[in-house]
Structure formats: C-alpha cells, structure tokens
Structure 1
Amino acid sequence: MSSTFNVVARYRTKPGTTEEVLKHLGNMAAETRNEPGNISYEFFRGVEDNRKIIILESYHSPEDFDLHRQSQHFLTIGAVHIIPELESRAVTTFISADGPVEAP
C-alpha cells in the first residue's frame, strides 16, 4: 500500500498583513499545484480569528515536499513575501495510507 505525505501549516499574520499574505498564498498555491510531486495545496482563513491561516498540502513523498521547499516560487513567494509577514508559523507533517482504512 502506498502513502501520501501531508503537511499542515498554521500561520498567524502580523496585524495589517493578512490580505497581502492571502494574495501571495494564491500565487503560491497556483505554482505548487503545478509541481509534479504535489497532490493538493489548499489554504483557509480563520473565522474566529481572521489573522489565522491554515494550509493543507499533500505530496506523493517526503522528497517531493523537500523539492517544493527548494523551488523558485517557495524561495521567492514564500520566503520573501509570506514568511516575513507572519507573527507565528508552525508546520507539521503526517503520513496517510492511500485507500480506505477500516476502524478497529
């Protein structure tokens, strides 16, 4: 059985930067979705706290995620335009099995 490498990124933007960060995330998502190893890239803005952003990414392998972090768009859009505008950032990774998993 194969697996999927999943990434959950939790951001909190600095005051006054959320709209700009969301614009750049739109560009990042479009570029990332074109990467051969990417399965999906989605992001969501918090309702209770609109400065919170959650990013959900899936890749075929951890190596594909590593390639994403070395891509030109990550190094320019992410590292230059998004990350400096964050008050906090936490990235967590998970492996999920492809296909149905039965509960015990």
Structure 2
Amino acid sequence: MTSTFNVVARYRTKPGNTEEVLKHLRNMAAETRNEPGNISYEFFRGVEDDRKIVILESYNTADDFELHRQTQHFLKIGATHIIPELESRTVSTYVTANSPAEAP
C-alpha cells in the first residue's frame, strides 16, 4: 500500500493585502505543479472572511514536500512575498493511505 503526503496551510492576510497574496499564490501554484513530487496544489479564498486562504497540497512523499520548501520559487515567492503579508499562518500535514484499485 502506498500513501500520499498532504499539506493544509491556513492563512489570514493582513488588512488590504489579500489580492497581492492571491496574485503571488497563483505564481506559486503554477511553479509547484511542475515539481516532480507534486500531485496537486490548490488554494481557496474564504467566503465568510475574504482574508482567509486555505491551501491544499499533495506530494508523493514527505521528502518531496521538504524539497518543495527548498525550491527557488518557494524561497522567492513564498518566503519573500507571501509570508510577510500574513497576519497568521498554520501548516498541518497528513498522510493518506492509497489502497490499490479494486478490479470491477
């Protein structure tokens, strides 16, 4: 049985910075989706509170996620342009067991 390494990041932007953060997240998503170990990278803006953003990422392994955190786009876009514009940030990780596909 294989597994998938999942990341859930919850951001709350500083007042007036949400659009700028979303612009940088679009660039981050495009770059991250091209990483060999990335399965998916999606982000969503809150409806009730439009300063809240949730990011859902999936990687083949925890090592792939660690490699992601060392990429130039993470260091440039994430660490330089996104994280400083946040009021709060939490990152949680989860493992999903992938069952083999059942025959019909």
Q: TM-score range by the shorter chain?
A: over 0.9
Q: Distance in 2 between matches of 1:46 and 1:68?
A: 25
Cα deviation per residue 1:20-76 (whole Å; 9 max; x = unaligned)?
000000000000000000000000000000000000000000000000000000000
Point out 4+ residue stretches in structure 1 off by more than 4 angstroms.
none
- The number of residue pairs the alignment matches comes to 100
Amino acid at match of 2:95: I
Quote the RMSD (CA, aligned, Å): 0.8
The aligned residue for residue 96 of structure 1 is: 96
Percent identity of equivalent pairs? 80
Report the CA distance between 1:99 and its aligned residue: 3.1
The aligned residue for residue 15 of structure 2 is: 15
Q: Secondary structure at the match of 2:91?
A: strand
TM-score, scaled relative to structure 2:
0.95
User: Structure 1: any 5+ residue segments left out of the alignment?
Assistant: none
The aligned residue for residue 6 of structure 1 is: 6
User: Structure 2: any 5+ residue segments left out of the alignment?
Assistant: none
Q: Secondary structure at the match of 1:34?
A: coil
What pairs with 1:10-89 in structure 2 (closer than 5 Å)?
A: 10-89=10-89
Report the CA distance between 1:98 and its aligned residue: 1.2
Q: Distance in 2 between matches of 1:96 and 1:14?
A: 32
Q: Secondary structure at the match of 1:77?
A: helix
Q: Distance in 2 between matches of 1:33 and 1:49?
A: 27
Q: Distance in 2 between matches of 1:84 and 1:94?
A: 25
